[in-house]
Structure formats: C-alpha cells, structure tokens
C-alpha cells in the first residue's frame, strides 16, 4: 500500500461520508445519558444525530425535533459514548476471522493500536471506511527501540525486511540516529503516535519526544524503558505511560535489560505507596500524562491456566500475581492523586464467535480492584481514552458536534459496570447496528 493510499484511508475515517450526510436525522428520545466526561447521568434526554454527528443533546420535550426525523424511543435505556480500547494489537487476520466485527458489535468503536505494520493497519481502516468490513476506527503507532530491539520481533515489526534504522513505522536507534528522520517517517506512515518501546536512555526519550511534539505527534511509551526509569519517561514529556506494574521499577536501584523486566519482579519488594512512586504519580498528574494501566493484561497473566508463550513471562505464579496486585494498587493511588487513567487491554479479545471485547473486563477491574466508580471507569474508556490520541474534541463524549459513536445499553451502568455488556445496539458514525 502506498503512502498516498494510506493517507486516503486515514482521511476516510476522519471525514463525513456523502451517504451519511444525506440520511434523515435520527433522534434517540427519553434516554438516560452518561456522557463520558465523568458528569452524573442525565435522565429523560434526547440525542439528535444528523449524518455522522451529534447535533443536539437536551431534555426530552424542550425543543422541536427536526423535520423528517426518525425517532427511537429509548425509555428505560442508557446511552454512553462508543467505547475506546486504548491498547490493542490488531493484525490483518482480525478482519477475516471476525474480530473487528465483534469488537464493534461489542461496543468498541475506536482502538489505539500499539504495534504493527502501518500499511496493514491503514488497509484495515480503508476496508472499515469503505464498508467492506465492520469494525472500529483504528489509530496506530510507529515504534522506536534501542539497539536490543533488533532481536525483538515486535520492535522490528513494520520495518523494511533486513533494513536497520528508520523503516516504514518501526525504528531501531543507533548513535547516529536522527530524531527528525524518525518522526518524518512515522508521520509519512500515517501514525498518530510514536511508541517508545525498550532499550532506551532518558536522553533519547527526551530527544524523540521533543521532536515529535514539535511535529504535533503524540508520544506513547512503556512506563519504564530499561534503562530509562518511570521518572525519566515523565520528565521526557511522554503523553501516555503504559503498564501500571512497570511503575514499580522506580523503586529499583538499577534496571535490568528489557527481557528481564518480569523476572526482576520489583513488585515483590517495593510498594505502590513508596515515596519515589508517589513522586512519579504526582508529576504525571501535574503534567497531564495519562496512565495506560492495562489491568486486564496483568490479571490475565496471573490467572491464565495455560502459561504465556512469551518467554519473558515464564516465571512463577507468585511473580505474576504480585504484578497484578501491584498494578491494581498503584492505579488506585493514581486515581486518588488525580492522574488520568485510560482503559486499554493489551489484548482486545472478541476472538471467538459470541465473545465480547476484553475492554469490559478492564472496566470491571478498574471498579472492583482499583476503586473507580462506574462513571469514572466509563470516562477512562471514552473521553480519557480519546485524549491518548488527541481526539477528545471529536470522539469520546456525548455532546453536540461530536462524532456519533454511541452504545445503547439495556441496564444501568452507573449501578453495575457489568451493564456495559448488556448492549441493545451500537451507533457507529450515525448508523445503527442492531444486535
């Protein structure tokens, strides 16, 4: 796929379609709105959709409905913004095996993909935008790793086969690497953000982040980059830090190689309320850096009956359970200190017919293990998740002018977060997808 084709695919998911503009308006009436901003639920509301946009939100009966409107009376039902999984790993096979369709039908209307071929992801977006397949909108990263990334298949994915240095959307640092060239290549590959992955110093994290921000590109990173520790990542100005348990490396005297990050198990020694960790969290809150906690990832590793095929995670059950507990507790403390927490799974789920996205499990964990209210958890999977990509003015809330991505629920998610699974139907860009 050419760069021009990739750009056209990106434009297709960010601009209204002619067919959408010509549809008659749609009014969802008498519905309770949970708008994704953290505000309290509002009962007996009307949401008007024209084309692919929300054009009005108001108490039912206070305004005259547009001429020619189609009305859906949703008395007793609830509407939330389309859910956003802010940490997934999609591959082209997810089109043919139905994963994209199940994600969308399961309420996930947008995803942030953290590793992959930008060309392949742009083609998947093109298929979604053209109506060739159902699925969420996909925004994706380029990846930058230090020299050790040459032997890491995930870090190298997206580079030209056998080529060192700058690739299409995967880059391996060398002493002579040029941050400007890396950012230029990432933007040319239509990446929304740049992911700092592993084997990276604090100096390189800062240089890359500064250049990316100069070019209006988001920067996403693992919370520890080995050797850069969490405080280094925050000082570099990174927008989103992934994997709550990795904040534990702030308590270590020195950091091992990336491949030893789990075997080192600092969460079995340090505590989430360690003053050094609290200092990192306070700095994140002050700077507006988002924590991509990925609680489902750690919980799944700790409870899976089949060991992970990734040799990095082939450690004792107590080590994995310790990582999960540490992630839960530090995310709870992050919330208390005002850190924005996005909902992402690092494993989108919906792999089999009849299964739901793992994002619903992530919401459960935020509430059950980290002390979030259901409304706060929904905010993490909507407006805050949108903010990880700089899209909060377009998606992630139920408000006038926003893209009409919505999930209509049969039961009240403010009373039980499990209600996000009880889906009546999904609205994607103003189109109703009946379940």
C-alpha distances (whole Å) from 34 to each of 78, 184, 205, 345, 375 are: 7, 39, 38, 22, 8
Cβ-based burial of 344 (10 A; exposed 0-12, middle 13-18, buried ≥19)? buried
- Over residues 248-275, the mean pLDDT reads 89
pLDDT band at 167 (very low <50, low <70, confident <90, very high): low
- Over residues 105-112, the mean pLDDT reads 98
pTM across the whole model: 0.92
Residue 262's pLDDT is 82
What is the per-residue pLDDT across 325-373, written as a single tens digit (0 to 9) for each?
Answer: 999 999 999 999 999 999 999 999 999 999 999 999 999 999 999 999 9
pLDDT of residue 432 exceeding 90, the answer is yes
Q: What percent of the chain has pLDDT over 70?
A: 89
Residue 21's pLDDT is 47
C-alpha distances (whole Å) from 79 to each of 35, 127, 267, 423 are: 8, 27, 39, 10
Residue 434's pLDDT is 86
Q: Say if residues 293 and 327 touch (Cβ distance below 8 Å).
A: yes
Higher-confidence position of 238 and 156: 238
CATH architecture of 3-80+398-434: Roll (2.30)
170-172 vs 193-196, strand pairing mode:
unpaired
Closest CA to 72 of 106, 47, 105, 43: 47
pLDDT band at 259 (very low <50, low <70, confident <90, very high): confident
pLDDT band at 164 (very low <50, low <70, confident <90, very high): very low
pLDDT band at 387 (very low <50, low <70, confident <90, very high): very high
Q: Which two tokens stand for residue 425?
A: 């139907």
Closest CA to 369 of 313, 296, 302, 304: 296
What is the per-residue pLDDT across 128-147, written as a single tens digit (0 to 9) for each?
Answer: 999 999 999 999 999 999 98
User: What sign has the CA pseudo-torsion 239, 245, 247, 252?
Assistant: negative
- Which CATH code is given to the segment(s) 82-388? 3.20.20.140
* DSSP-based three-state secondary structure for 433: strand
What is the per-residue pLDDT across 51-95, written as a single tens digit (0 to 9) for each?
Answer: 999 999 999 999 999 999 999 999 999 999 999 999 999 999 999
- Over residues 236-259, the mean pLDDT reads 94
Query: Residue ranges per domain, the chain?
Result: 3-80+398-434, 82-388
- The mean predicted confidence, pLDDT, of the chain is 90
In angstroms and rounded to an integer, the radius of gyration of the C-alpha atoms of the chain is 21
What is the per-residue pLDDT across 306-329, written as a single tens digit (0 to 9) for each?
Answer: 666 666 666 778 899 999 999 999
Q: Please name the residue ranges forming H helices in 288-432.
A: 295-303, 317-336, 359-368, 374-380, 383-388
d(CA 240, CA 33): 28
d(CA 402, CA 392): 9
Least confident among 18-22, 295-299, 319-323, 376-380: 18-22
Residue 309's pLDDT is 64
Higher-confidence position of 257 and 241: 241
**What is the CA angle 162-150-260, rounded to 5?**
160
Q: Which two tokens stand for residue 400?
A: 């006038």
- Over residues 378-390, the mean pLDDT reads 98
pLDDT band at 391 (very low <50, low <70, confident <90, very high): very high
pLDDT of residue 19 exceeding 70, the answer is no
pLDDT of residue 200 exceeding 70, the answer is yes
d(CA 47, CA 336): 33
3-state secondary structure string, 86-131? EEECCCCHHHHCCHHHHHHHCCEEEEEECCCCHHHHHHHHHHHHCC
């Amino acid at each position: 796929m050419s760069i021009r084709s990739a750009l056209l695919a990106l434009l297709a998911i960010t601009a209204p379609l002619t067919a959408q503009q010509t549809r008659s308006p749609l009014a969802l009436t008498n519905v309770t709105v949970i708008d994704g901003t953290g505000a309290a639920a509002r009962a007996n509301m009307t949401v008007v959709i024209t084309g692919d946009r929300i054009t009005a939100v108001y108490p039912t009966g206070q305004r005259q409905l547009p001429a020619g409107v189609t009305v859906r009376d949703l008395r007793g039902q609830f509407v939330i913004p389309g859910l956003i999984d802010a940490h997934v790993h999609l591959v082209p096979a997810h089109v043919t095996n139905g994963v994209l369709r199940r994600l969308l039908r399961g309420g996930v209307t947008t995803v942030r993909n953290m590793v992959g071929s930008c060309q392949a992801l742009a083609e998947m977006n093109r298929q979604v935008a053209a109506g060739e397949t159902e699925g969420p909108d996909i925004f994706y990263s380029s990846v930058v790793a230090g020299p050790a990334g040459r032997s890491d298949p995930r870090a190298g994915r997206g580079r030209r086969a056998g080529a060192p240095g700058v690739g299409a959307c995967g880059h391996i640092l060398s002493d002579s690497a040029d941050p400007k060239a890396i950012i230029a290549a990432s933007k040319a590959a239509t990446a929304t953000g740049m992911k700092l992955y592993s084997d990276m110093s604090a100096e390189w994290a800062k240089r890359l982040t500064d250049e990316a921000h100069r070019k209006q590109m988001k920067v996403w990173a693992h919370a520890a980059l080995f050797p850069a520790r969490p405080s280094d990542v925050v000082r570099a100005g990174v927008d989103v830090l992934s994997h709550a348990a990795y904040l534990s490396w702030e308590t270590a005297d020195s950091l091992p190689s990336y491949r030893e990050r789990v075997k080192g198990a600092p969460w079995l020694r340090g505590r989430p309320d360690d003053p050094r960790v609290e200092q990192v969290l306070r700095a994140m809150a002050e700077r507006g850096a988002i924590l991509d906690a990925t609680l489902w990832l750690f919980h799944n590793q700790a409870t899976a009956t089949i060991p992970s095929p990734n040799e990095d995670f082939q450690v004792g059950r107590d080590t994995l359970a310790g990582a999960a507990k540490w992630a839960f507790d530090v995310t709870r403390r992050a919330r208390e200190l005002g850190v924005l927490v996005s909902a992402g799974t690092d494993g989108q789920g919906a792999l089999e017919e009849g299964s739901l996205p793992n994002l619903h499990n992530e919401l459960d964990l935020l509430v059950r293990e980290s002390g979030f209210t259901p409304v706060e958890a929904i905010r993490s999977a909507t407006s805050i998740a949108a903010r990880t990509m700089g899209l909060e003015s377009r998606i992630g809330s139920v408000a006038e002018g926003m893209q009409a991505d919505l999930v209509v629920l049969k039961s009240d998610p403010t009373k039980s977060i499990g209600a996000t699974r009880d889906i009546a139907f999904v609205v994607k860009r103003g189109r109703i997808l009946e379940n």
